[in-house]
Chains A and B, each alone.
Chain A
Amino acid sequence: MLLDDLIDSAQSDELLDEFAKREIRRAILAAVAIPGYQVPFGSREMPVARGWGSGGLQITLAVVHDDDVVKVIDQGDDDGVNAVNLRRLVTTSTGADQTSIAAEASVIQSRHRIPEDGLDEESILVLQVPVPEPLRGVERDMRELARMHAEADYSRMWVSLYEDKVRNGVITQTTGYPCLVNDRYVVATTPIPRWDIPRLHESPFLTLFGAGREKRIYAIPPRTKVEPLTFEDVPFEVEHADGATCSLCKSNAAFLVSLPNSDVWMCSDTDWCRRTREASA
């Protein structure tokens, strides 16, 4: 009921005014110019709670035109409640079309996944970021954080990886794995699984990261070097469950998630799974 009211107001009056869009675009340009650098921006109130995709939503609204085609997913699922709501906000606010097929989309807003296929030079991937600061776990002081980034002093991050390996025998960090972008800045990759990390490296598409609550935008431009921080002798490995295949499409070529407390696996990217099933039918 409340959401419908908000959508009505959005239809009559765009969610972001032109001034706000221009400011966000300027932040995006700066972010693209300095890959991995967190650009501050004046995060606006959105009809979603901060921390629920408000940063991604503002980026999407600022880059989408009415001739764009938008795909929105939550954990790989086009039909998640949050994805549906955000998609409706974007399409009604901008007049853009929608799709679930990544290859057809020009702008893809996502929480926690990169679609398995279909992204190319024409695509913009917008990732919703809860915590944009990769060093938050090792340092709280803002000035010290700024200094560490300014001097590319990431030894404390390396120490935390070292400690993780010593404590647990493996590097346990599974999602949001820290990556070095363009040999310069370490970024938080948002909680995307390790599976998606190698796909950011030298990717053909532009990735924009938006953190509404923390008021930060950063970017990985196309064809940019992205390296997960890892020791030479401790190879970076993506998630893999031996013998697991999707219970629906029978494939093991995509990122699989298991249903809680079960051995039943399914593709995380629901649209990819659907298309795989249709192709084999």
Chain B
Amino acid sequence: MNSLIDESVIQNMKDDLGKDTCHKLIGLFIEETRLLLVDLEHAFEVMDLAVIENATHILKNSAMLYGATSVAINAKEINDRLCSPRKIINNTDKQLLALIRTTLKAYNSKYNNAV
């Protein structure tokens, strides 16, 4: 589960901003990602590509900033395809939802004080 979180990113954040601020920020990240997950679940059901594009656009950056590297890479991969003129979406892209759920679980478990 820990491989879902790049601990060095979190540690740098703690060193730079202090533990309290860091936990507060991670709380925001968890909350934002949870809302994006809800949007994405619905969007994948109805294949609303615009919503998927917007949500992955936010995630590819925010997840990278908060050390959720796997989510960031996956979101970027989908977003790059959706930004191309052909707007390609694959069946396997839905796996992002499961990855976000597992990652959120990992963040909640590790930083449950923050939420």
Q: Do A and B come from one complex?
A: no
Interface residues of chain B, those whose CB is within 8 Å of chain A, are none
Interface residues of chain A, those whose CB is within 8 Å of chain B, are none
